[in-house]
Amino acid sequence: MKVLVIGKGGREHALCWRLRQSSSVERIFCASGNPGITQSAHLVPLEPTNITGLAEFAEAQQIDLTVVGPEDPLALGIVDEFERRGLTIFGPSKVAAQLEASKSFAKSVMKEAGVPTAASAVFDDADQARRFVRNHHGALVVKADGLALGKGVVLCADAESALAAIDDAMERKLFGAAGERIVIEERLSGEEVSFFALCDGDSAVPVGLVQDHKTAFDGDRGPNTGGMGAYSPLPQFGTGLEPRIMREVVAPTLAAMRARGTPFRGVLFVGLMINGERLNVLEFNVRFGDPECEALMMRFESDLAGLLLGVAQGDVARSYVKLSPESVVAVVLASGGYPGNYRKGIAIRGLESAEAIDGVRVFHSGTAISDGRLVTNGGRVMVVCARARNLARAAAKAYRAADLIEFDGKHLRRDIGLKALHGAQPGATSEPPAEQDG
- Per-residue pLDDT of 56-92, as tens digits, reads 999 999 999 999 999 999 999 999 999 999 999 999 9
State in words which class domain 2-91 has.
alpha beta
pLDDT band at 434 (very low <50, low <70, confident <90, very high): very low
- DSSP H/E element including 211: strand 204-212
Q: What is the pLDDT of residue 438?
A: 33
Signed CA dihedral, 31, 32, 38, 43: sign only:
positive
Are 394 and 231 in contact, with CB atoms under 8 Å apart? yes
pLDDT of residue 423: 59
Half-sphere exposure of 165 (CA within 13 A, CB side): 28
- pLDDT interval class at 115 (50, 70, 90): very high
pTM above 0.85, yes or no: yes
383: nearest Cα among 336, 332, 334, 335: 332
Between CA 254 and CA 203 the distance in angstroms is 8
Distance of CA 391 to the CA centre of its chain: 21
Contact between 79 and 55 (Cβ < 8 Å): no
- Domain residue extents for the chain: 2-91, 125-180, 191-422
CA dihedral 193, 196, 201, 203 (to 10 degrees): -100
Query: Rounded to an integer, what distance in angstroms lies between the CA atom of residue 32 and that of residue 386?
Result: 26
pLDDT for res 149: 74
d(CA 390, CA 325): 9
Give the mean pLDDT of the chain.
93
Instruction: Indicate the fold that domain 125-180 takes in CATH.
Output: Dna Ligase; domain 1 (3.30.1490)
- Phi and psi, residue 418, nearest 5°: -70, -25
Distance between CA 244 and CA 249 in Å, rounded? 8
Q: What's the pLDDT score for residue 320?
A: 86
Calculate mean pLDDT across residues 312-340: 93
Q: How far is CA 426 from CA 152, 232, 275, 373, 414, in A?
A: 20, 19, 13, 39, 14
pLDDT at 402 (0 to 100): 98
Q: What is the rounded CA–CA span in Å between residue 408 and residue 413?
A: 16
Distance of alpha carbon 416 from alpha carbon 401, whole angstroms: 14
pLDDT of 425 higher than 60: no
**Among residues 150, 146, 154, 105, which one has the least CA distance to residue 11?**
150
Q: Are 254 and 360 in contact (CB under 8 A)?
A: no
Please give the C-alpha separations between residue 391 and each of 213, 242, 326, in angstroms, as whole numbers: 16, 19, 8
> What is the mean predicted confidence (pLDDT) over 322-342?
97
pLDDT tens for residues 86-112?
999 999 999 999 999 999 999 999 999
Confidence of residue 224 (pLDDT cuts 50, 70, 90): confident
On the question of pLDDT at 324 being above 70, the answer is yes
Say whether domain 191-422 belongs to CATH 3.30.470.20: yes
What's the confidence (pLDDT) of residue 431? 40
Classify burial at 416, counting beta carbons within 10 Å of its beta carbon; exposed 0-12, middle 13-18, buried 19 or more.
Answer: buried
Lowest mean pLDDT among 76-80, 296-300, 427-431: 427-431
Ranking 140-144, 269-273, 345-349, 382-386 by mean pLDDT, the lowest is 140-144
Q: Tell me, what's the pLDDT at 29?
A: 98
